[in-house]
Copies of this chain bind each other. A is one copy, B any other.
Amino acid sequence: MESLNNQLHRCSINTATLGHREPIALTLDRIARAGFGGVAPWRQEVEAAGAPAVARQLRALQLSVSGYCRSAYLTGATPAERRAAVESNRRALHDAAELDARCFVMVVGGVNGTAPASSAGAAPRDLAGARQQVADGIAELYDEARKLRVPLAIEPLHPMYAADRSVVNTIAQALALCESIAPDDPALLGVAIDVYHCWWDPLLSESIAAAGRARRILGYHVCDWLADTRDMLMDRGMMGDGVVDLAGFRRQIEEAGYDGMVEVEIFSRDRWWTVEPDSVLSTCAQRLQSVC
């Protein structure tokens, strides 16, 4: 496996890593100036600036887009809610095409999303039903993705988010969805693999290898799992500060055939989001080149 030393052009910064504290134009300038080759922006910041303006700046800075974040949740209490999510995702896909994004990242929604907002006490306990809603929603969106030639990357989320964020929780599960929805089209429906969500999986090696054989690895995200994690959402670690064998993980991903970007995505409200953005970026650069 090749070191990432002097390979920052292969590395991308997910803008969440900087805490969404500044307008995207400034964020993109910082990321390009720090030497990174890519960025993964979020909808709210792209829509605030307008996709055409962002696309122009990306071209001027020669930044590629490793992924566009992210889908509206596909689980919903009513058909109307689910249709609205698909429509919202369709609009985002058009912006993803404008940005020439390598993929549109799909975070699919939790079982709690199936609860009627108005009915207190009506418990959303149908996990299988929620998973079927997700399969149906992806299938619908996939038709649009084919027209626009924007790959959809299903991102399995850590099982601790199954209630509120995603009922897709392992690489194998995401891969099975891909195979059932688009058996012949790996380029347009695949998986985004994030070490934070997947590092614990007893089937990790087999699942990465299977995703690679299927040519469905569309994104690779890094951060670290802190041994003393204090918050389920906002306490991800900087690479090297936690328990994940990041070099070993990348070796498996690349042996499986992935040659895309290594994207840093760190939600860290109390630690990295309080640090000056250029300093966060230089730490990311240093860690990518030493421990990833």
A79 CB-CB contact with B under 8 Å: no
Q: Considering only CB atoms and an 8 Å cut-off, how many residues of chain A contact the other chain?
A: 37
Contact, CB under 8 Å: B163 / A227: yes
Contact indicator per residue, chain A 92-117, by CB within 8 Å of chain B (1) or not (0): 00000000000000000011100100
Contact, CB under 8 Å: B123 / A240: yes
In Å, the complex CA distance between A170 and B112 comes to 22
- A126/B245 contact (C-beta < 8 A), A160-B160, A201-B159, A202-B173 known: yes
Contact indicator per residue, chain A 244-257, by CB within 8 Å of chain B (1) or not (0): 11001000000000
In Å, the complex CA distance between A115 and B243 comes to 10
List residues of chain B with CB within 8 A of the CB of A225. 162-163
List residues of chain B with CB within 8 A of the CB of A240. 123
Contact, CB under 8 Å: A159 / B200: yes
**Of the residues B124, B163, B202, B243, contact of A229 by C-beta under 8 Å:** B163
**Of the residues B160, B163, B164, B170, contact of A202 by C-beta under 8 Å:** B170
List residues of chain B with CB within 8 A of the CB of A110. 227
